[in-house]
Amino acid sequence: MSDEVIRATDANCMNTYRRFRIAAARGEGAWLWDAGGKKYLDFTSGIAVSVLGHCHPALVGAIKEQAGELIHTSNLFYTKPQARLAELLTRHSFADRVFFCNSGAEACEGAIKLSRKRAGEAGRSTTVVCAEGAFHGRTLGALGATSGEAYRRGFGPLPEGFVFVPYGDAAAAERAIREHGACAFMVEPIQGENGVVIPPKGYLSAMREVCSREGALLVLDEIQTGMGRTGKFLAHEHCGITPDIAAIAKGLGGGVPCGAVLATGEAGSYFTPGSHGSTFGGGPLACACAAAVIEEISGSSLAENAAVRGRRLLEGLGAVAGAREARGVGLMAGVEFSSDTAAKAAVDLCAEKGLLTILTAGNVMRLLPPLTVSGEQVNLAVSIIREAAGEVADW
């Protein structure tokens, strides 16, 4: 069965993904089974999406209930699920206003557009300062804010008006913001695609002060770091700051596509009727699912679980043979290997041994287990990683 699925996919889909040769068939919690019945401990969570794990009863129930009532209307009408989700997001975050979309790239696009709309109405520069190593999505606007040549190659000309500075260097960012009269500074609290890169302590706090002083918006890409993954609902809460805008997605819908732009009242006021929109964004089904996810995260203390399990995970990964470093916050962790070859081999070996992880930035094994992961599952994952790393330690 797996071979049939793989052959049909390879024959008919565009070749845009480097996939595991695994045909996923069903999941439950942190476990995933392939079409042949092999069981895997899934520490990918659909790339930080399945925060409640696979087929969580709260999410399945929300899907079933909402699908039987109303699936789609567009934003020509008000709906109870959208109103409920908007209230939950403003209650659990800094935001006064929310714009709904379908993905992380769309959320970043919305954040960029909102920043530039505000700047344009004030007659100031629409330049956005971004960080080197950033990944904000694959649409043209989000690519403009993404620095990696591998993502940008072949898609030019990209939108102009983006300036890059070293990640974690608040002084360089301040100079760029002042020099260009930038309307915004856009940054990830932790760089996920770049290898789980954590900035120096005080970086986001310093950038909050810089942006306030220079009249620029602080825009945070919380797509991968949000929804409890780092031990807080949104990662910037660790720093005690408030951004002007934040983009969220991935775990928001728990597996159903859902994204949002969160904004303060002042920043959010610049989106007016006709200035931005989405046919599917904020649909009843997605909003019902996202509301169920948020209520489960808050009601079951899953962010706290992420913090506790994350500490255990990092402790275990600290003794991985051949690794340069293990780093992370909460249940967002990375193991940096000595070479791209060793990292890829370790990821492949883990999969053979029943643990699914992600290769990123060439030589980093990225771990994004669901927030519901147990201590026993963390211990099993650490054991498999250590075993696999030991086999490639000299590569």
Half-sphere exposure of 118 (CA within 13 A, CB side): 25
- Which are the contacts of 77, defined by CB distance < 8 A and separation ≥ 6? none
Token duo for residue 53: 């794990």
Is 340 catalytic? The answer is: no
Q: How far apart are the first and last CA of the chain?
A: 34
Is 20 catalytic? The answer is: no
Q: Which of 34, 42, 221, 244 is catalytic?
A: 221
SS3 assignment, position 355 = strand
Asked if 322 contacts 342 with a C-beta cutoff of 8 angstroms, the reply is yes
Phi/psi at 285 (5° precision): -65, -50
Question: Can you say whether the dihedral through the CA atoms of 36, 39, 43, 46 is positive or negative?
Answer: positive
Rg of the chain taking only CA atoms, in angstroms? 21
Phi/psi at 260 (5° precision): -155, 150
Q: Which residues in the chain belong to E strands, given as ranges?
A: 24-28, 31-34, 39-42, 97-101, 128-131, 162-165, 184-187, 217-221, 245-248, 259-263, 323-329, 332-337, 355-356, 358-360, 364-367
Q: Which of 43, 94, 99, 135 is catalytic?
A: 135
Token duo for residue 217: 């918006």
Q: Which of 42, 250, 271, 337 is catalytic?
A: 250
**How far is residue 335's CA from residue 355's CA, in Å, rounded to a whole number?**
14
- Which are the contacts of 22, defined by CB distance < 8 A and separation ≥ 6? 2, 34, 40, 351, 356
Name the DSSP class of 94.
Answer: S
Name the DSSP class of 198.
Answer: P
Asked if 131 contacts 190 with a C-beta cutoff of 8 angstroms, the reply is no
Asked if 195 contacts 136 with a C-beta cutoff of 8 angstroms, the reply is no
Amino acid at 375: G
**How far is residue 325's CA from residue 311's CA, in Å, rounded to a whole number?**
15
**How far is residue 55's CA from residue 292's CA, in Å, rounded to a whole number?**
13
Is 250 catalytic? The answer is: yes
Where residue 115 falls (left for φ over 0; alpha for ψ -120 to 50; beta otherwise) is alpha
- Residues identified as active-site: 135, 221, 250
